[in-house]
Structure 1
Amino acid sequence: MKIAVASDGRNVSMHFGHCEGFTIFDVEGNKIISSNFIENPGHRPGYLPEFLKGKGVECIISGGMGSSAIDLFNGYGIDVITGASGDVEEVTKKYVDGTLISSGSACEKHEHEDHCED
């Protein structure tokens, strides 16, 4: 399984579309076997879900995400976890262990700062 975490440095980004990039973890069973960082190719409507699907991603973890992006990821069969924070590897371990729970909430505002704009 491939899990992508929207990343700003080693931390989960508050919004996947405006993150520095994605840390992609390869997981077998309940163990992380490798990870690599992919720079964000740029935020434009509808692009990132398709881009990450092309990388084989089956789950995206982020601090926040807009509802249209969530719908697009779901349309590609990619699980969406929102409301995450902290170190990307620790968050991924929690997901693999089944202890990371999605807030299930989508960002709805576009004018905020330091949160999750669309």
Structure 2
Amino acid sequence: MSLLCSTLSGKTAGTATKIGLRGADWWLKTFRQLPGYYITEDEASKLGWIPILANLVSVAPGKMLTKGVYKNRDKRLPDALGRIWYEADIHYSFGYRGGERILYSNDGLIFVTYDHYATFVEIV
């Protein structure tokens, strides 16, 4: 793990989110895809989601957002030629989105941040 990412110990897949084997960390590690309860911002918007109203739970109950490509501009996550990072919310239940995210790459790396990108913990 890169020193830029975090000095925190890694977490085992299935323990990084509050919902265990239904969590994004487990699904990404096991199936290399997000669970079916994730939708894109475009899909949420088509359902009536308006971010400033924090109404995702009312227009898309049980859903969480996947944000698409994460730029990794500051290179705090491991960088490699051809690597693309993606991000998705974790632990959303209602209201405004919190700062907890899962970040995953096209080549199988997975990290979580519980403090809106201040620190990252690798999922192993």
TM-score normalised by structure 2 residue count = 0.30
Q: Give TM-score, length-normalised by structure 1.
A: 0.31
Q: Which has the higher helix share?
A: 1
